[in-house]
Copies of this chain bind each other. A is one copy, B any other.
Amino acid sequence: MNIAYVCVSHKPISIETTGGIETFTIYLLNALINLGHNVTLFAAKETDLTAFSPKLKFVPIFSLADLGKKESENLESKEFTLNYAFFQYAGVAKVLIEKETFDIIHYSCAQWYAPFLLSDGKTKTLTTIHVNNLRPSAISYLFNNFPNNYIANISDSSSMSFQSYPKRKTVYNGIDLEYFPYHNSPDDYYAWLGRIAPVKGLKEALQAAKIADVSLQASGPLDFMEYYNKDVKPLLDAKRKLIRPLNFREKGMFLGKAKAVLMPVNWEEPFGLVAIEAMACGTPVIAFARGGLKETVVDGKTGYLVNSVEEMAEKIKQIDKIDRKKCREHVEKNFSSQVMAEKYAEYYQEIQKIS
């Protein structure tokens, strides 16, 4: 199939990225090309093409310079929000100009609803919802007034507000297993990986590690300085340390060598990529039973689903009951980028057949 794929981000798409939308793009497109599809990526001209198969066609649709993002700009500000949103709408608008060339247009940006407003109802478009920033009443309005677009949710949990919409499917995220090699015998530490933000639960991970009296290594970018100073820093000690943010290849090693990865998230995590990255390396995951984690972590088999810091501490002590090989197999079977690409390719074909 001829697939147009649109990804507008305020960061370059590159192997160094930590962003979910960018890594999703790299994994999916390479796997689709491996399956024999013709893929054209529409993205910022600063895209690092070495992250992709040489067979990828690339059309720069804007430059990060156009976005005019200022150094250390507040990404929550009204000015940045509106300018960034504009480029998301403009991205799909630009691709639609040459829509005849493609069997399907797959859109994957924060403004997931842009194709609903922009497409003519005849063009086949699919949008993956990674994050949702529309309110329930606005979603109803969208689906009632512009019912001409297909959607994919990245977990059943994150699809709750979208269940009534008929052109919907859950397609789980998948990862490129090459980047996450299997480790049979871990070192003596537990790992935490993520943005240092309240929802990601570093505080709770540290508390659980302390109660269980195990060593913890945490890594991630500092998103909320105030949270870090108030809630995280006081819990750090000789046995529980914060290390620097890791790049793509270091991440696989860091996760793979851990006894388990702790994910005591404080929100309905839409998917939780770290869980499948860890399990791919053979590392079990002990997670709060919230959001997509309930769908990726098999309780008692590839880790544990728990509901409190105390329960997490208990399960830390029982980690040797988990067979690391089973963790790897679980991801190979369900969450590889190949599996994800196959599901998307099926979905594309289904959409294309509907007249």
Q: Give Cα A134–Cα B65 distance, bound, in whole angstroms.
A: 14
Asked if A211 CB lies within 8 Å of chain B CBs, one says no
Is A136 part of the binding interface, using a Cβ–Cβ cutoff of 8 Å?
A: yes
Determine the residue in chain B with the shortest Cβ distance to A140.
Answer: B66
> Of B81, B87, B93, B138, which one neighbours A138 at CB under 8 angstroms?
B87
Q: Is the CB of B68 within 8 A of A145?
A: no
Q: How far is the CA of A135 from the CA of B67 in the complex (A)?
A: 8
A94: B residues at CB distance < 8 A: 145
Q: With A78-B76, A78-B81, A141-B66 as given contacts, are A90 and B146 in contact (CB-CB < 8 Å)?
A: yes
Decide if A354 is an interface residue (CB 8 Å cutoff). no
Which residue of chain B has its CB nearest to the CB of A69?
Answer: B135
Q: How many copies does the complex hold?
A: 2
Instruction: List CB contacts (< 8 Å) of A312-341 with chain B.
Output: none
Whether the pair A117, B93 counts as a contact (CB closer than 8 A) is yes
- Any B CB within 8 A of the CB of A172: no
Does B68 lie within 8 Å of A138, measured CB to CB?
yes
Interface range for A = 35 or more
- Is the CB of A150 closer than 8 A to any CB of chain B? no
Q: Would B83 and A134 count as touching, CB distance under 8 A?
A: yes
Candidates B90, B111, B141; contact of A142 at CB < 8 Å:
B90
Contact A141:B62 (CB < 8 A) given known A93-B146, A117-B93: yes
Known contacts A81-B82, A89-B89: does B142 contact A68 (CB below 8 Å)? no
Q: Can you sample 16 A-B contacts with CB below 8 Å?
A: A65-B137, A66-B137, A68-B135, A68-B136, A76-B78, A77-B78, A79-B133, A81-B81, A83-B134, A83-B135, A83-B138, A86-B113, A86-B138, A89-B89, A89-B117, A93-B146
